Amino acid sequence: MGANLWCLLEVRRRLGVFPYNRTYLRLAVPFVTTLVALLWLHQLMRTVHPEWVVIAGALILGHAVFLATAAAVGLEADDKLIISALWYRVQNVFGFSGANA
């Protein structure tokens, strides 16, 4: 992490650009919400064995909470374009379309 910060500072110093802007702060709400959900899951599944069940649950819950919260907070046009392209790809891979839903 230290090396990444050092590289960011060097790019800023030499080129005068910074790859991030205030719109990235919008991800703080989904991050905190996901963290709380995963901590809750950890408490809930403390005694569950085998551990892979907990890991699978954390992966599913973490992604679902983050994506739902990010969508609720609001996405920029670029984000919506990427999501639309990914959804189109998923529909083609799995052989279904939104028209039949």
pLDDT in tens, the chain (101 residues): 889 999 989 998 999 888 888 888 888 999 999 999 999 999 999 999 999 999 999 999 999 999 999 988 888 888 889 888 988 998 999 887 655 54
- pLDDT reported for residue 29: 94
Q: Are the beta carbons of 76 and 23 closer than 8 angstroms?
A: yes
Cα–Cα distances in Å, from 61 out to 17, 35, 56, 82? 36, 10, 9, 22
Q: DSSP assignment, residue 26?
A: G
Q: How far apart are CA 27 and CA 54, in angstroms?
A: 25
C-alpha of 91 from chain center:
20
